[in-house]
Chains A and B, each alone.
Chain A
Amino acid sequence: MPTVNLNRKEVENLVGKKLDLAKLKDRVSMLGTDLDDITDDEIIVEIFPNRPDMLSEQGFSRALSSFIGIKPGLRDYKVKKSNDKVIIENSVREVRPFTACAIVKNLKFDEENIKSIIQIQEKLHIGFGRNRRKAAIGIYPLEKIKFPVRFIALPPEEIKFIPLESLEEMNGKEILEKHPTGKEYAHLLNKNDKYPLFIDANKNILSMPPIINSETVGRITDETTEVFIECSGFDFNILNKCLNIIVTALADMNGEIYSLNLEYEKNTETTPNLTPEEMELNLDYVNKMLGLNLKESEIKELLERMGHEYRNKKVKIPAYRSDILHEIDLIEDIAIAYGYENFKEEIPNVSTIGEESYLTKFKRKIAEALIGLELIECSSFHLSNKTTLNEKMRTKNKLTMVESAVNADYDTLRNFLLPNLLEILSRNKRYEYPQNIFEMGTVFDENIKEHESLCIVKSEKDVNFTKIKQVLDVLMSSLDIPYEIEELSYPWFIEGRAGEIIVNNKKIGMLGELNPEVLINWNLEMPASVLELNINMLIEHNNA
């Protein structure tokens, strides 16, 4: 979730009222943003991904002022017609097929405004634009551009311009290889033969989206008063929303919005389109879902407090909102306006019978038996590593690694619990012996099948096979499961002092005295006897 730092004074100006700190904190939290902090200068707030329209001071203040009842209802944003056009050529179809564009005039940029525009752009890129993959935004000083602007794709070698923050001209390839921003986003383009470009009627390159603007034509300064805005990406609807969010923010800085005609190969679109969407609302459904008894007039008022307009069971939704997919989304807006703090919690009189899973109950019985033997339960991670699972255990089992693990020590699914318990013992050598421990947990076999495993390790001076077999005896007799032991060798046990545990002719586990080589691998100075068995197979036996 993106965190934005909003200029507090600017927000207060836009809201049109200065709120005291406690009230402001409360209202911001209850509006549906996660407040981090409010300082003298800033409101630091996390904006949820469903409300990208609130990433700017303008959008945030717009929502807040409606919410606290100062400016409720739908805002009217006028779009004037310009006769300028943007031509989208076929060549972009493979790389970045769509764009939505607009012009905004009558702006007065100062340092604050520019910062705020850059912030919306950046935050939209990260979340809504999925790191520029889904949507990327470019803003350019209008006076340097001659229409019609073309959206085209060219081989990277043929693209030459001076990118922002650079002194020299580079070609498309060089930008991806050398320019810091180019390197960061290179993966979005470098698999393509052609890279997309906005280029004006004077053949000046505006930008190479979604990477970077041109230094000469694509830099906003405090002298800029009119801007050309484009959003490019793969989904026209999304780009429209993105554009709407930007232009309405600029309009709230007193900008005047002008539309552009987009000439696609087969059709022409005019953007931005700020016509509110309409959705029907079933008032009974509202009250049923919320557990309230709201009258139509109340619902109308609550919707207006979220910036909507209500008339006759129909809701007009502002064009910068991208998150209203279903009636239920409007109901949530009603709930927010009503105030979550005003809902009275209720436990309904619905009778159902509670029950734990059989596995839970069974594991508890095992734990009780083992605790009676003074064993201590441990709990380790499901992820481990090859050294722990194979090398230290003197074995070469097939292991399953996870993808792109950030922790190299935890990049492999554990296939049995014993290595983890030995690691625990190796970290606890300074404490008193006997150290008798156990764990129950999920392990993953080489086919990534899961089962619950039980592992017990007894470590003390005189421990031997008898002592672990005694534990097995206690456990199996309390569970009333007869078993047999068959001799078998394991790399981690002493030959002739280990075997498999057999229940109903099925192998369900193993037990034995730990091989001294393994003990040494774990840096252990005390002998240990071990058993590990499959809990699910015990349950199957008991249920059969």
Chain B
Amino acid sequence: MPYVKKVKIKGKEYWYLFHTVREGNKYLKKSKYLGKELPKNIEEIKKEFLTGIREPSSKHSKLIESLTPLERKVLPLLSKHTKLSSLVKETGLKEIEVMRSLQWLSNKEIIKIKKITREVVKLDKNGELYLKKGLPEKRFLSALDKPRTMQEIMDIANLDKNELTVSLGILKRKNLIEIGKEIKKLKEDSSIRKKEEFLKSLPSPLKDLDWGIITELKSRKEIIKEDIEKEREVSLTSLGKELLKENLKINLLESLTPEMLREKSFAGKKFRRYDIKINVPRIYNGRRHFVNQAIDYARRVWTDLGFKEMSGPIINTSFWNFDALFQPQDHPARDLQDSIFLNEKGELPKFFKDKVKDMHELGYEKSKGWQYSWDEETAKKLVMRTHTTVLSALTLSELKKTDLPAKFFAIGKNFRNETVDWSHGFEFNQTEGIVIDPNANFRHLLGYLKEFFKKMGFPEIRFRPAYFPYTEISCEMDVYHPIHKKWIELGGAGIFRPEVVIPLLGEDIPVLAWGPGFDRIIMDYYKINDIRELYKNDLKVLREMKVWLK
């Protein structure tokens, strides 16, 4: 037992509470400061002090400390009650609370929950009514304190016609009444009490019941019905049985509240232990779209490599999208079924129009050109950009010689007139880059691309010959997928043809250029196989997709 003792410190007196406990082989003295005066509620403090320091002697102490108040309320009842329904009744808790505590107990392997289904018999509408009012035949008989007419019986026993007929039938069959002008009771019926007790016992499992009664009552209107009942049956595990022998009525703190902090009322008490492994409800943070996360990263790679970002419109004249890039006007990409055109025309840039026209028709002293008659109206047609290369053309047209050498990049959406399936979309991302440098060469082109894709997570890259109308030397690039062990085709690159550069820049300066697709890299990183997933905007995906971690 704890005892109170006055302690003198530096001449002053203080009250303390002491208690000795055994831990293994050691004896430990625990103490609690009470104040300069002995508190009035010392008995209460003693109790709390004891529960606070008493180490539940068993090996289950941690487990007991982790029981929630609900669990501690339910657990002791489990030695007698095994059904949810009776537990609800006994505890006075809501069904959901009992269910929850049973689930927690089961998580801790203190109990086992068995879900059972069985056929039961339940009261139907009239059954419930008769349980209150009495069965019609009972009421019939009790109205016969003397022989009476039908009408009298109906009035006294409060029977409707149907009930009267049924009662007559039953009582007649059992020879309990005699029917003449008036109806006379012959003897009392013992079976009625049995039937009423039967009704009172419902709902009950079908198999426990008297078949005779069931058959009779079932034949009558809406007295009983059969049903399938799902019930949870709880049994204690051996751990549960051991726990029941322990003292479960310990006083533990639940949430730490501002009041407790103010009043320091937590002192000397224990907090209930949590099950820290339990799953917690998911919460969601704000996020950027995963495609934009990837694009943002790629932007940083380009700027790290010294590239400036280009931006420009999505809708351009065919002039900038095709003609300025030396793409002949009958090139298949300029067909309606390949590109998305608008039924509108735009202005052509006066300064560049004739230069581009001449290059298409005649070339220049070192080139034959395409040798056809270039049509201004075709060039005016508006088109949703088919490649970000249009931004490169626009950038070249604005560049001054004093700006050189210069490097630019863009990452943006492009459009093609294509039906959507798992591998194709009508919108796709491209990462565009140009290097305008009088000393640039083909090896530099390969160098920039290799570095970019290394930073995107693909250290191995290969280049193959390819063809684009606006580049020569052209190449196609593939990166090696280290897990799938195969090459992924990404798209094209090259050195702009002199026929592209001269009209826009005024002289033949090497311009390295590339525009590989970007979506496949994004899909690979996020393990997406269907390109439609990129822009499906499924909130679950947007909320839970891993972030771009490069």
Q: Do these two chains really belong together in a complex?
A: yes
Name the CB-closest residue of B to A364.
B296
Taking CB atoms, residues of chain A closer than 8 Å to B315 are 413, 444, 448, 450
Give the interface centre of B292, B330, B476, B495 by most chain A CB atoms within 10 Å: B292
Q: Are B539 and A332 in contact (CB under 8 A)?
A: no
- Checking B287, B443, B466 against A346 with a beta-carbon cut-off of 8 angstroms, the contacting residue is B443
Looking across the interface, which residue of chain B has its beta carbon closest to that of A363?
B292
Q: CB of A347 within 8 A of chain B? A: yes
In the complex the two chains form, is B344's CB within 8 Å of A435's CB?
no
Give the shortest distance, in Å, between B181 (CB) and chain A (any CB). Answer: 69
Stretch at the interface among A212-220, A365-373, A506-514: A365-373
B-contact 0/1 string along A368-406, CB 8 Å cutoff? 001111111111111100000000000000001111111
Using Cβ atoms and an 8 Å threshold, which residues of chain A touch B287? Answer: 371, 376-377
> Across the interface, do A328 and B440 meet the contact criterion of CB distance under 8 Å?
no
Across-interface contacts of A344 in B (CB, < 8 A) = 443
A348 contacts the other chain (CB 8 A):
yes
CB 8 Å contact bits of B338-375 with A (1 = contact, 0 = none): 00111110000000000000000001001111111000
Considering the complex, give the chain B residue whose CB is closest to the CB of A131. Answer: B332
* A505 close to chain B: CB less than 8 A: no
Chain B residues lying within 8 Å of A400, measured Cβ to Cβ, are 342, 344
Is B212 interfacial (CB 8 A cutoff)? no
B207 to chain A, nearest CB (A): 42
0 or 1 for each of A443-481: is its CB under 8 Å from B? (1 = yes)? 010001010000000000000000000000000000000
Interface of chain B residues 277 through 294 with chain A (CB within 8 A) = 284-289, 291-292
Q: Which of B57-65, B164-172, B413-421 interfaces with chain A?
A: B413-421
Please name all residues of chain A whose beta carbon is closer than 8 Å to the beta carbon of B370 when the two chains form the complex. 325
Which B residues touch A357, using CB under 8 A?
Answer: 309-311
**Total number of B residues with any Cβ neighbor in A under 8 Å:** 91
Q: From B292, B440, B510, give the contact of A377 (CB < 8 A).
A: B292
| Bound CA span A142–B311, Å | 60
**Residues B427 and A351 in contact, CB atoms below 8 Å apart:** no
Distance, CA A402 to CA B344, complexed state (A): 9
Given the known A-B contacts A50-B467, A340-B464, A348-B447, are A376 and B284 also in contact in the complex, defined by CB atoms under 8 Å?
Answer: yes
B 228-268 to A, binary, CB cutoff 8 A, 1 in contact else 0: 00000000000000000000000000000000000000000
Q: Which residue of B lies closest to A340 (CB)?
A: B463
Chain A residues contacting B105 (CB-CB under 8 Å) are none
Count of chain A residues near B, Cβ 8 A: 84
Contact residues in B for A436 (Cβ distance below 8 Å):
286
A382 and B306 form a contact (CB under 8 A): no
A31 contacts partner chain B, Cβ-Cβ < 8 Å? yes
**Cα separation A50 to B471 with both chains bound (whole Å):** 12
Binary CB contact string for chain A from 334 to 368 against chain B (1 if under 8 A, 0 otherwise): 01100011011111101111111101100010010
Task: Quote the shortest CB–CB distance from B546 to chain A (angstroms).
Answer: 15
Query: B23 contacts the other chain (Cβ, under 8 Å)?
Result: no
- Bound complex: CA of A187 vs CA of B167, how far in Å? 93
| A388 smallest CB distance to B (angstroms) | 14
A442-B311 Cα distance, complex, nearest whole Å: 12
Among B299, B363, B465, which residue has the most Cβ atoms of chain A within 10 A?
A: B465
Q: Does B99 contact A (CB under 8 A)?
A: no
Given contacts A348-B444, A450-B314, whether A367 and B288 have CB atoms under 8 Å apart is: yes
Contact A374 B286 (CB under 8 A): yes
Tell me how far the C-beta of A347 lies from the nearest C-beta in chain B, rounded to whole angstroms.
Answer: 4
The yes or no answer to A491 lying at the interface (CB within 8 A) is: no
Against B, the Cβ 8 Å flags (1 = close, 0 = not) of A80-114 are 00000000000000000000000000000000000
Q: Assess whether B407 is in contact with A345, with CB atoms less than 8 Å apart.
A: no
B535, A326: Cβ atoms closer than 8 Å = no
Min CB–CB distance B475 → chain A (angstroms)? 6
Q: Which of B444-481 contact A (CB under 8 A)?
A: 444, 446-451, 462-467, 472-476
B440 lies within 8 A of A326 (CB): no
Closest to B418 in A: A406
Instruction: Tell me whether B368 and A336 are in contact (CB under 8 A).
Output: no
Known: A347-B447, A442-B314. A356 touches B309 (CB 8 A): yes
Asked if residues A406 and B419 are in contact (CB atoms below 8 Å), the reply is: yes
Question: Nearest Cβ in chain A — how far from B394, in angstroms?
Answer: 13
A290 at the interface (CB under 8 A from B): yes
User: Which one of A341, A353, A373 has the highest number of Cβ atoms from chain B below 10 Å of its Cβ?
Assistant: A353
* Beta-carbon nearest neighbor of A336 in chain B: B465
**Complex CA–CA separation, A322 to B379 (angstroms):** 25
Residues A133-154 near B (CB distance < 8 A): 133-134
Please encode chain A, from 486 to 498, with 1 for each CB lying within 8 Å of some chain B CB and 0 for all others: 0000000000000
**B407: contacting residue among A30, A48, A352, A406, CB under 8 A:** A352
Cα distance, A354 to B304, chains bound together (Å):
6
CA distance A32 to B309 in the complex (A): 32
Chain A residues closer than 8 Å to B435, beta-carbon distance: 350
Q: Contacts of B415 on A, CB cut-off 8 Å? A: 382-383
Instruction: Determine whether A34 belongs to the interface, using a CB cutoff of 8 Å to chain B.
Output: yes
A332, B472: Cβ atoms under 8 Å? yes
Q: Please list 29 pairs of residues, one from A and one from B, whose beta carbons are closer than 8 Å in the complex, sorted by A's number.
A: A34-B466, A289-B473, A289-B495, A290-B473, A325-B367, A346-B444, A347-B451, A348-B440, A350-B407, A354-B303, A354-B304, A355-B303, A355-B309, A357-B310, A373-B286, A374-B285, A375-B286, A376-B287, A377-B542, A379-B289, A380-B535, A380-B537, A383-B415, A403-B340, A424-B539, A427-B537, A428-B537, A436-B286, A448-B382
Extra contacts besides A341-B463, A353-B306 (7): CB < 8 Å = A32-B465, A347-B447, A352-B308, A354-B305, A428-B539, A442-B314, A448-B315
**8 nearest CB pairs, A to B:** A291-B441, A354-B303, A32-B465, A371-B286, A48-B467, A291-B443, A326-B367, A345-B446
